[in-house]
Amino acid sequence: MATEGRPSTRRDWRTFGKALVRAPLLRRIVLVAGVLGGLFLALTLSRVWGLIDTRLWNLLSPILASGATNTFLFSAAIIPVGAVIGFLVGWARVSRHPIVSWPATVFVDLVRGIPQLVLILFAFFWLPYVFEIQGSLDAGLDFAVLALAIHTGAYQAEIFRAGFQSVPRGQIEAAEALGLSKGRVMTSVVLPQTFRVTLPALGNEFALIVKDSSLLAAIGAQELVYWGRNSAQFALTVYAQIGWVATTWLIIAMLYFAITYLITQVVGSLEHHYRVPGLGSVAF
């Protein structure tokens, strides 16, 4: 038969593992990691060999070590929580029951209309007191991260809503006509298509999350911008080296690029792997 010679075109979770290893994604991750590692190495060597002013080195190293790691960790924490919130709220938004969809709509409209920073500030300064957690900086930080997650959750809810609505009602009818239960209709027909269709918009949103995480520096979280501020302050006031200020921020910009690139590459490879001819994407 003509079909037997063709390689399988199955594209779902079963073939993802193999595809991941073969994918250009891995090469790109290695590339980025290599570039960053190389940078770090160059800086270290420069210090050892006296090419670089030790003071500049002292300014830059915490950025790379603590700042980049923390930014990455914050983003990695916010993305999944936001996605879960977004998925649930988005699902609620498309419900036929106003008792579910109206509160979801109100939630989305309110949260999207308030600046992230305001949410962060409020969460950081007030919520620990509300929940009787005294004195710890970490508690406030956790609440602030939660606030950010809720904020992106509202945006992701809109993305998921568009995704759910892009599946034609006829297919849901056809699935029911086959005898699939409501739950199965969801998992076998609606969700796979929603997933594929929302990926590009979600990738975009994840990039935004990385940038929004910079706001946490405003409450003292030790991520990239915090260290950048520190170092730039020092460079300006104590050393009066404007060149160092620019260098610091340039490196920070590069690091943000790197983290964003990583995340969008991962999402992009997911998109590529799960692509199906004829299934477009929702614009956002």
Considering only residues 195 through 224, tell me which ones interact with another protein, judged by CB under 8 A: 196, 211-212, 214-215, 217-218, 224
**Contacting another protein (CB under 8 A), which of 113, 134, 135, 138?**
113
Q: How far is the CB of 51 from another protein (least distance, A)?
A: 24
Q: Judged by CB under 8 A, how many residues of this single chain contact another protein?
A: 78
From the list 22-30, 32-40, 62-70, 256-264, the region that binds another protein by CB under 8 A is 256-264
Between 50 and 113, name the residue whose CB sits nearer to another protein.
113
The residues in 114-133 that bind another protein, with binding defined as CB under 8 A, are 114-118, 121-122, 125-126, 129-130
Between 83 and 263, name the residue whose CB sits nearer to another protein.
263
Between 81 and 236, name the residue whose CB sits nearer to another protein.
236
C-beta separation of 210 from 265 below 8 A: no
Q: CA 210, 256, 28, 58 torsion: positive or negative?
A: negative
**Contacting another protein (CB under 8 A), which of 202, 256, 263, 269?**
256
The residues in 12-51 that bind another protein, with binding defined as CB under 8 A, are none
Between 18 and 126, name the residue whose CB sits nearer to another protein.
126
Between 43 and 245, name the residue whose CB sits nearer to another protein.
245
C-beta separation of 192 from 128 below 8 A: no
**Contacting another protein (CB under 8 A), which of 48, 69, 112, 137?**
112
Q: What is the longest distance spanned by two Cα atoms in the chain?
A: 78
C-beta separation of 217 from 226 below 8 A: yes
Q: Binding string, 91-110, against another protein, x = CB under 8 A?
A: ------xxxxxxx--x--xx
Q: How far is the CB of 136 from another protein (least distance, A)?
A: 18
**Contacting another protein (CB under 8 A), which of 54, 58, 69, 181?**
181
Encoded tokens for 79: 């993305």
**Contacting another protein (CB under 8 A), which of 175, 199, 221, 267?**
175
